[in-house]
Amino acid sequence: MKAGVIQFFGALLVLLAKGDLFADPLTNWNWCYPIPQGRTLYAVTYGGGQFIAVGDSGTIVNSGDGYHWTNQVSGVASPLRGVAYADGEFAAVGDGGIILLSTNGIGWSQVPAITSNSLLGIAGDSSWRADGGPQFLAVGYAGAALQCVNDLQWSPTPSGTTNTLNSVAYFDSDYIAVGANGVVDLYLGSFAPVPESQTGITNNLYGVDALQSGGVFAVGDLSVPSVSSYQNGVLFSPDFGYDLWTNKNVQGSLWFPSQLFTLHSICNGSNGFVAVGDTGQTLEFNYPGVVISSQDGVNWFEQPVGSSEYSLYGCCYGRGLYVLVGDAGGIVVSPNLVDWTEISGNHRSAITAEASLPNLSVANALPMSREYSFFPDFTTLISTNGTNWSVTSTTAPAMAQMAGANGVFVGVGPGGFYSTVNGLSWQTNGSAPNSLLGVCYAKNQFIAVGGNGGIFQSTNGVNWLDRSISVPGDLSSVAYGNGIYVASGSFTATSLDGASWAVG
């Protein structure tokens, strides 16, 4: 893949410091597409006037309104799985027992490691100074539980279980945690696991939401076919998890197969409740993201299939807005549980080729994989400044690599040679007997390479001469330096003029 583009799972473009467009040195990289970023987000919270979402590779993004998000530097590279707010402070937790703290959502500091177990969920109590409970309570693998009892003072607290605890919620100075095998753990000054015989649950629970009025909702793997009584539903307990939990069935069958979805998170707001998850399916069959909602917590309904392009893992409510997060940096918002807006869309294409001229950059993308072949979001992006990118085409030819020179962008791909001067319209300049994989411009000519020793030469990107060599194997890239062209792949070929080539 040529300098100037990095491909992640999803449509991701970052730009190098090269030419007039790119001012940063090579050590500084800016995420330019999709906005704000494309890594999976696992959790989101609201507090102190802003939303904070966390995810893979130490990702932290924040927003004051839920619609405009900014990347922040976490200082860690491991996945962050949970985030919470309490008493003017944010806390994020993740793999390997990572704990990060921030007072503004921008600058983050790491707490010295207390456990090596990954932490999956965290909740906070903004009234902790008055009620004497922990400011934060974090839970994770093997029943790990940590409490923050005095600002920066974190310590382990016995959870009474070795089952993984996936999520925790705060209620009335206490906490409730849920986890694998239907474990429900109550923290009332100390943990007191609720016996399985009392809960009647053996499914994995991934999300929990506690109401100050006394009720608790839980979601998880409640769609296991062998457990028909909990199929396709949300669990409710009227008194913080002590009583036998009852199942609230979800109405509708928008997903295929509807009964197989898993719910990862649940929250409540002024318009009612929302729970999010995934179907385990791909876009080849249907949308994998699941959104269900309820006005009263009793009657639940599936939201439209297109609410999210990707699986959803976290949700929260704040500033009159429901915010959902998930795969590939997906962020979905709704003010009313009816109208849904996907903030970070265009994930179903993967950028494979990019080229830049002084006043224009053009990127070309393919569907991410076979199952997305009928659902590409775009095929061409353009930018006049290297920072702000816009979609110009959803039907341009698929290209493996591009090069730019003399006001022309030249792309090569499985179908042949292509060119454009503006990224808006493409010209087909003939087909090649080989699948084309690489192209470069040097010494006033374009050189393209591909399968079965394919090598082609052009002075204008339109008319091409076949310079292929009879050597078994494919050439996947070509470059020029120190007075010589070098093509590489399953073998290497060199040339001084681009016309005559030698192997080795």
**pLDDT-based confidence at 250, cuts 50/70/90?**
confident
CATH of the domain at 104: 2.130.10.10
CB atoms within 10 A of CB 7: 17
| Alpha carbons 92 and 89: distance in angstroms, whole number | 10
- The alpha carbon of 61 is separated from its chain's Cα centroid by a whole number of angstroms, namely 12
In a domain, 195, yes or no: yes
**pLDDT-based confidence at 203, cuts 50/70/90?**
confident
Q: Do 299 and 293 form a contact (C-beta atoms < 8 A)?
A: no
| Alpha carbons 457 and 467: distance in angstroms, whole number | 7
- 354/267 same-domain check: no
Kindly report which listed range (74-83, 394-403, 478-487) carries the lowest average pLDDT score. Answer: 394-403
Question: Domain range for residue 366?
Answer: 350-503
| Alpha carbons 332 and 475: distance in angstroms, whole number | 42
| Alpha carbons 80 and 124: distance in angstroms, whole number | 16
In a domain, 27, yes or no: no
User: How far is residue 457 from each of residues 246, 410, 440, 468, 484, measured CA to CA in Å?
Assistant: 71, 12, 10, 10, 15
- 160/99 same-domain check: yes
Could you give the 3-state DSSP secondary structure of residue 56? Answer: helix
The residue whose two tokens read 């996936």 is: 166
**pLDDT-based confidence at 197, cuts 50/70/90?**
low
| Alpha carbons 32 and 68: distance in angstroms, whole number | 14
Q: Note if the bond before 34 is cis, omega within 30 degrees.
A: yes
In a domain, 372, yes or no: yes
User: How far is residue 35 from each of residues 116, 342, 388, measured CA to CA in Å?
Assistant: 33, 12, 9
R_g of the chain computed on alpha carbons: 27
Closest CA to 380 of 421, 424, 343, 416: 424
Q: What tens digit of pLDDT does each residue of 58-107 get?
A: 999 999 999 999 999 999 999 999 999 999 999 999 999 999 999 999 99
The stretch 197-217 carries a mean pLDDT of 85
Could you give the 3-state DSSP secondary structure of residue 372? Answer: helix
- 499/384 same-domain check: yes
In a domain, 454, yes or no: yes
Domain boundary among 307, 342, 377: 342
In sign, the C-alpha dihedral spanning 273, 207, 276, 303 is negative
Q: Report the length, in residues, of the chain.
A: 504
Q: For the chain, what is the domain count?
A: 2
Top pLDDT among 438 and 299 is at 438
Angle at 285 between CA 283 and CA 287, to 5 degrees: 45
- 332/361 same-domain check: no
- 283/384 same-domain check: no
In a domain, 356, yes or no: yes
- 307/403 same-domain check: no
CATH of the domain at 364: 2.120.10.80
- 360/326 same-domain check: no
| Alpha carbons 195 and 160: distance in angstroms, whole number | 11
- 423/474 same-domain check: yes
Domain boundary among 323, 342, 361: 342
Closest CA to 165 of 146, 144, 137, 186: 144
- 364/469 same-domain check: yes
DSSP 291-323: EEEESSSSSEEEPPGGG-SS-EEEEEEETTEEE
- What are the φ/ψ torsions at residue 228 (nearest 5 degrees)? -65, -30
In a domain, 402, yes or no: yes
Q: Do 425 and 395 form a contact (C-beta atoms < 8 A)?
A: no
Predicted confidence at residue 96, as pLDDT, reads 97
| Alpha carbons 166 and 231: distance in angstroms, whole number | 20
Residue 230 has pLDDT above 50, yes or no: no
- 163/259 same-domain check: yes
- 319/414 same-domain check: no
Closest CA to 85 of 122, 132, 32: 122
Residue 3 has pLDDT above 80, yes or no: no
In a domain, 285, yes or no: yes
| Alpha carbons 127 and 175: distance in angstroms, whole number | 13
Domain boundary among 342, 372, 387: 342
Predicted confidence at residue 189, as pLDDT, reads 86
- 257/392 same-domain check: no
In a domain, 14, yes or no: no
| Alpha carbons 4 and 438: distance in angstroms, whole number | 15
Tokens describing residue 330:
């997906």
